[in-house]
């Protein structure tokens, strides 16, 4: 990670105070893996168009949309469409999706089990504590036959919608970024692939269960409403949905991240 990226990452984590005036670059916030890596890949292409891309790296799911709405950054790349819509409903951000880019299938991981069939009575499973990813984890567990939900395919389900839980599994809600660390304290955890990859997990090998390639949780680039015609935004969209980017995703992540364009 270069010096400018580190500086901007620290700025974001401390509230992004004054960052809009700090440099005259095109600022995009992203989580480290795979999002920042994908942005790094297109950085030279944007530079060739006189666009100085500044990648602001953060592991916090809440700051990038607030920073975008407050005009402290120009775009962000870290979230799926359901998460963005939930934040819009909650905080009334004037932001929207620019492009669908890739899918990172959520997985169930464990340090102590090799199969979900090994779950015992009262086992503890950690799940993300934000509403959309909590629902995503519960839907995956339902597909594996661990629980049954009242609204079987509703992307807004919560633990309160669990109708059947034969093994009496207990759910521990944890900040998504902390889920890999929680593995040592629980029997299993539902982890977003970006955090799994960052922690050195290989979804195709390490996950006990994994969403399919048809997952609706497509990761997007978000921008402010009305910015879609800005030249930098147009160039960003073109670079992130190009054949060159598709090849990069397939070669770099070898099926752990799936192009969605």
So what's the pLDDT on residue 24? 54
- Running DSSP on this structure, what letter comes out for residue 160? G
Domain range annotation of the chain: 3-104+217-259, 107-210
Class of domain 107-210: alpha beta
Residues contacting residue 115 through CB under 8 Å, at least 6 positions apart: 208
CATH code linked to domain 3-104+217-259: 3.40.190.10
**C-beta of residue 191 within 8 angstroms of C-beta of residue 107:** yes
CA 106 to chain centre: 10
E strands in the chain: 26-30, 53-57, 75-80, 95-103, 107-109, 124-128, 148-149, 162-164, 170-174, 188-191, 209-210, 218-224, 258-259
- Running DSSP on this structure, what letter comes out for residue 147? -
Cα angle: 261, vertex 179, 211; to 5 degrees:
35
- 3-104+217-259 and 107-210 share one fold: yes
Q: Tokens 């979804």 identify what position?
A: 203
Q: Give pTM, 2 decimals.
A: 0.84
pLDDT averages per 10-residue partition of the chain, 261 residues: 42 41 74 97 97 96 97 98 96 98 97 97 97 96 97 88 97 97 97 95 96 92 98 98 98 94 94
So what's the pLDDT on residue 214? 86
């Amino acid at each position: 990670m270069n010096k400018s990226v580190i500086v901007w990452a620290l700025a974001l984590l401390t509230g992004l105070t004054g960052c809009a005036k700090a440099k005259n670059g095109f600022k995009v916030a992203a989580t480290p893996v795979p999002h920042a890596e994908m942005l790094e890949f297109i950085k030279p292409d944007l530079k060739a168009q006189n666009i100085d891309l500044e990648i602001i790296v953060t592991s916090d799911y809440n700051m990038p949309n607030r920073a975008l709405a407050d005009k402290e950054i120009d775009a962000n790349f870290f979230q799926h469409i359901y998460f963005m819509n939930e934040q819009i409903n909650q905080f009334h951000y004037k932001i929207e999706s620019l492009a669908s880019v890739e899918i990172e299938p959520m997985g169930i991981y464990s340090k102590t089990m090799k199969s979900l069939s090994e779950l015992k009575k009262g086992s503890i499973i950690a799940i993300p504590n934000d509403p959309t990813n909590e629902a995503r984890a519960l839907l995956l567990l339902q597909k594996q036959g661990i629980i049954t939900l009242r609204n079987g395919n509703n992307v807004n389900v919560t633990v309160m919608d669990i109708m059947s839980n034969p093994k009496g599994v207990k759910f521990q809600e944890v900040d998504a970024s902390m889920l890999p660390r929680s593995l040592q304290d629980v029997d299993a955890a539902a982890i977003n692939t970006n955090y799994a990859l960052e922690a050195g997990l290989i979804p195709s090998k390490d996950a006990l269960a994994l969403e399919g390639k048809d997952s609706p949780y497509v990761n997007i680039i978000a921008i402010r409403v009305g910015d879609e015609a800005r030249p930098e935004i147009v160039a960003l969209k073109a670079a992130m949905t190009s054949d060159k980017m598709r090849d990069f995703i397939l070669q770099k992540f070898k099926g752990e991240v799936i192009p969605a364009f």
